[in-house]
Structure 1
Amino acid sequence: MQRLHVLKQAFFSLDAAHQQLLIGSGVAAGGILAYLLLKRREVKSIPLGEGWWGAGEKPLSEEDKIYPFEVQTSDEEIEDLHERIDRTRYTDPLEDGCFQYGFNSTYLKKVVSYWRHEFDWKKQVAVINKYPHFKTRIEGLDVHFIHVRPPHREGQRVLPLMLVHGWPGSFYEFYKILPLLTETQGGLAFEVICPSIPGYGFSEAPHKQGFDSLAAARVFLTLMERLGFSQFYLQGGDWGSLITTNMAQMKPQCVKGLHLNMFMSRKGFKVMLSLLIGPYLPFLVGFTREDVHRLFPFLEKNVYEILRETGYFHIQATKPDTAGCGMNDSPVGLAAYILEKFSTWTDLKNKDLVDGGLERKFSLDDLLTNVMIYWTTGSIVSSMRFYKENVKTNIDKRVDSGTGIFVPTGLAAFPSELMHCPRSWAEIRYRNIYSYSFMPQGGHFAAFEEPQLLANDFLQFVKKVEKL
């Protein structure tokens, strides 16, 4: 109060001209601050762009028909697989190497033996086909998706939802969460569209260079429009997180809500400052106790582990065609390359186990079904190219990196994700966070590992958005 009294006296001791100048400066400063706050909250979007990824020249018109699709197999396909498996050459593992050097070959032989003698691909094809599959042509590519409608219930509210996978996953990752989303819960159910990223699984691979997450986002927006949805929800992790984020940036008016189980922020002063202060005064930089536990010591828990786990990224972002050549020819090489990620990305501690902890979270039938989607479609190389297309140029200078996301956003932070992103970091990029959840368990493949946890978090987020 004393300080306020002194300020008042000082102000009234000025002549009228200086008083007016001071008032004018204050109004101007307030106006600038208000303008900056409004600009921060102003909903921005990024251009849709255009593209043609089919073979040859772009035609004058493109068919927009949606037609049913069914996954098929044959005795010849299975016989070829078995012959290749039988010719596999293995390397003996190092003593006590566990998964520290990659997929342990002793355990690999057990997985391959199951694959060769017990795994029933025809049975798994029937499992895959239990949901309706479709294809449609967009920007020169046959885009595959499953479209699952909930059973009709009186009084239920049905909301459209697109789920987008990443690498080395597929649409099959969502088979455990689909029944949880399509069954009515609290009066809500979801009509789910789950596409394959072009170049993955049953979606045609781009024939031209440059197909990145922005192109995939535009293709999937076209798909939703073609299906008749003007507003919808999005959910994704891994590449699916970036693609759905780009969709929300391109057409925020169409995205009712964006839910992610992997998310990152932009680099900058706030992030650097919080890394310096966070371990000691976490409350000053918006960190919770759980953030501190997951982030620090930062070098050991994040930087070093990321360096150990991203060798694949550097290969795929530079020479995918070279590295992919062997995996496209050897089913066992492909399985080792893909399944190693389902070990370490589920829990980094799995590197210390002889079996990589694979069967703690997954069944061999589910894991090998995902591998078979890559094998039978010959899509490993084209899936790896997606990395090169996205980092050909500095990703921090792309139009989407400098644009905030303003749609209602829900973030599920799983404890064994490759890198933790605190809410205070996420808010730099995601400007309208409705929910941020510290998930009790689970890693990178959330829908595959913890379908019930992910479904519950997503449902709670939607209820907040819908104000239920």
Structure 2
Amino acid sequence: MQRLHVLKEAFFGLDVVHQQLLIGSGVAAGGMLAYVLHKRRKVKTVALGEGWWGAGEKPRSEDDKIYPFEVKTSDDEIKDLHERIDRTRYTDPLEDSGFQYGFNSIYLKRVVSYWRHEFDWKKQVAVLNQYPHFKTKIEGLDVHFIHVRPQHRENQKVLPLMLVHGWPGSFFEFYNILPLLTQNHDGVAFEVICPSIPGYGFSEAPHKQGFNSLAAARVFLTLMERLGFSQFYLQGGDWGSLITTNMSQMKPHCVKGLHLNMFMSSRGFKVLLSLMIGPYLPFLVGFTREDVRRLFPYFEKNIWNLLRESGYLHIQATKPDTAGCGVNDSPVGLAAYILEKFSSWTDQSNRDLADGGLEGKFNLDDLLTNIMIYWTTGSIISSMRFYKENFKTNPENRVDAKIKIVVPTGLAAFPGELMHCPQSWAQIRYRSIYSYTFMPRGGHFAAFEEPQLLANDLIQFVKKVEKS
């Protein structure tokens, strides 16, 4: 207090000019400090960039209107499908091989017989059209999406939510979860937008090289802006996880919350150290008992398992057009190629089963509807190219790999996912984790396999964010 009194006397002993200079210096220093603190708090973002993916040269202006769209079929389309199915050649499987060599042809014949004689594509087209479909032109591409609004209720808070699929899925993966999200949850309901990634299903395929997850993220941000949403929630798995993460890196002020059912972390010393110590002293590296159970032995449960399931990735990331020729021409080849993923990515033990365990989790109508979306649009090759575009360079050297995600994040760890990522690893990249849930069952296609579980976890995450 005495020191403060001395300073006070010294200040008022100065003439007016020196008092003003001293005050000005203090204000300048305070302003500089505030600027430095502001710069430190400023969130690093991924640059939006720009692109043009349409055929030919970019026009001076682009139609930004939104148009209704309806899924259609014809007798000629179905006739062509049946003729191709009837000409299929099969190879007998090895004895007692299950799905270890891929899709078992004995079971494949049963699936194809159902497809040929019982599956009703016209009926499934009506199922697809139960929700409103739209298209709009963005960066030269006709972007397809469905837009589902909740029933109007008094005092109900409606939150916009975008759901983004991956490969070899489609917007149809979300059809069973949509009724769960659009119903009222203690005064909260979702208005849901499900786009098709360009090159998938009813979204036009890029005509130029380079369309990767960053381009898809920018297109979907434009879509949400065009629909009138300045803030919204995002949910994704597979490619949808990376696309929605990129959206959160580009415009974090627009993303109220990010929910993922597939997520990974960057490699580094912390991850390496936790792999060495984790099996013995898990609490020292932030592992729970469930983390230890899912991670170790690490090579068998993660690395070796990923190697067994990622042969497709190397093909699609290098020569998608070559490999795609066969599956784009043969509906049965396409079904085997895609449905094998719905077997082993749901539960790895399905590889030991003669039927791949497919009908234990799904029904054939749903599985074949997803196949038909690829078949009727001829989009399998363009969907495979997305791997080529995203792996042209080392993914860890991309600009988005170095930018942390600061938006509120919810993570749902399903036990059947190909690799497990503990929360302590996820925090390296996702810096604001509001919820991390060890899901009791389910694999890679969460919305398709366990819609109720995924909906419950998403809803509890959003409620946490809204309260905060």
- Do the structures match in fold with TM over 0.5? yes
Q: Displacement, 1:43?
A: 2.1
Instruction: Describe the superposition over 1:221-243 as per-residue Cα deviations: whole angstroms up to 9, x where unpaired.
Output: 00000000000000000000000
Deviations 1:238-268 (A, max 9, x none): 0000000000000000000000000000011
Q: Is 1:338 aligned to 2:341, yes or no?
A: no
1:66 paired to 2:66 = yes
**1:140 aligned residue:** 140
The runs of at least 4 aligned residues of structure 1 exceeding 4 Å deviation read 35-42
After superposition, where does 1:422-437 map in structure 2 within 5 Å? 422-437=422-437
Alignment correspondent of 2:23 = none
Contact 1:41–1:431, Cα closer than 8 Å, also in 2: no
Q: Counterparts of 1:385 and 1:40 in 2: how far apart (Å)?
A: 39
Q: For 2:62, what is the secondary structure of its paired residue?
A: coil
Cα drift, residue 353 of structure 1: 0.5
Pick closer, same or farther for the CA change 1:418–1:36 going to 2, 3 Å. farther
CA distance in 2, matches of 1:294, 1:38: 41
d(CA) in 2 for partners of 1:42 and 1:183? 37
| Separation (CA, whole Å) in 1 of partners of 2:415 and 2:222 | 34
Within-5 A mapping of 1:7-26: none
Letter aligned with residue 209 of structure 2: Q
Aligned to 2:309: 309
Give the Å deviation of 1:44: 1.6
Distance in 1 separating the partners of 2:117 and 2:64: 43
**For 1:41 and 1:392, how far apart are their aligned partners in 2?**
33
Shift of 1:38: 9.5
Q: In the aligned structure 2, how far is the partner of 1:74 from the partner of 1:123?
A: 12
Does 2:369 match 1:369?
yes
Q: Is the CA contact (8 Å cut-off) linking 1:156 and 1:187 kept in structure 2? A: yes
Alignment correspondent of 2:110? 110
Kindly provide the amino acid, as one letter, of the partner of residue 381 in structure 1: I
Q: Which residue of 1 aligns with 2:358?
A: 358
Q: 1:39, CA displacement in angstroms?
A: 8.3
Give runs of aligned pairs for residues 431-450 of structure 1, distance below 5 A.
Answer: 431-450=431-450
1:94 positional shift: 0.4
Residue correspondence of structure 1 range 31-430 to structure 2 within 5 A: 42-430=42-430
**C-alpha distance in 2 between matches for 1:438 and 1:124:** 34
Question: Deviation digits for residues 253-309 of structure 1, max 9, x if unmatched?
Answer: 000000000000001110111111110111111000000000000000000010000
Amino acid in the other structure paired with 2:267: K
1:32 aligned residue: none
Structure 2: distance between partners of 1:49 and 1:266 = 24
Aligned AA (2:73): T
Find the aligned partners of 2:155 and 2:104 in 1 and give their Cα distance. 53
Q: Which runs of 5+ in 1 are unaligned?
A: 1-34
* Alpha-carbon distance in structure 1 between the residues aligned to 2:210 and 2:409: 28
Q: Distance in 2 between matches of 1:109 and 1:143?
A: 35
Q: In the TM superposition, what is the alpha-carbon distance from 1:396 to its structure 2 partner?
A: 0.6
Q: Which amino acid aligns with 1:102?
A: G
**Alignment match, 2:16:** none
TM-score by length of 2: 0.91
Task: Give the partner amino acid of 1:103.
Answer: F
Contact map agreement 1:150 1:183 (CA 8 A) in 2 = yes
Could you give the per-residue CA deviations for residues 182-226 of structure 1, whole angstroms, max 9, x where no partner exists? 011111100000000000000000000000000000000000000
CA distance in 2, matches of 1:43, 1:348: 40
Letter in 1 for 2:59: P
Q: What is residue 11 of structure 2 aligned with on the other side?
A: none
Question: CA offsets per residue over residues 140-160 of structure 1, 9 Å max, x none?
Answer: 000000000001111111000
Aligned-partner Cα distance in 1 for 2:43–2:394: 25
- 1:77, 1:46 → 2: CA distance? 43
Compared CA separation, residues 61 and 106, structure 1 to 2 (3 A): same
Q: Secondary structure at the match of 2:137?
A: strand
Structure 2 Cα separation of the partners of residues 155 and 420 of structure 1: 40
1:203 maps to amino acid: S
Change (3 A) 1:68 1:97: same
Show structure 2 runs of 5+ residues with no match: 1-34
Identity in percent: 83
Match of 2:464 in 1: 464
| Alpha-carbon RMSD | 1.4
Q: The residue matched to 1:208 in structure 2 has which SS?
A: coil
Q: 1:173–1:37: structure 2 CA closer, same or farther, 3 Å change rule?
A: farther
Cα deviation, 1:297-347, whole Å, max 9, x if unaligned, reads 000000001000000000000000000000000000000000000000000
Using structure 1 for the length normalisation, give the TM-score: 0.91
For 1:259, the aligned partner's letter is H
- How far off its partner does 1:394 sit? 1.2
Aligned mates of 1:292, 1:279 — CA distance in 2: 6
What is the CA distance between 1:37 and its match in structure 2?
11
Structure 2 Cα separation of the partners of residues 111 and 456 of structure 1: 32
Q: Aligned partners of 1:101 and 1:437: how far apart in 2?
A: 33
User: Which amino acid in 2 is paired with 1:359?
Assistant: E
Q: Secondary structure at the match of 2:367?
A: helix
Match of 1:401, SS state, is helix
What is the CA–CA distance in structure 2 between the aligned matches of 1:409 and 1:37, rounded to whole Å?
A: 25
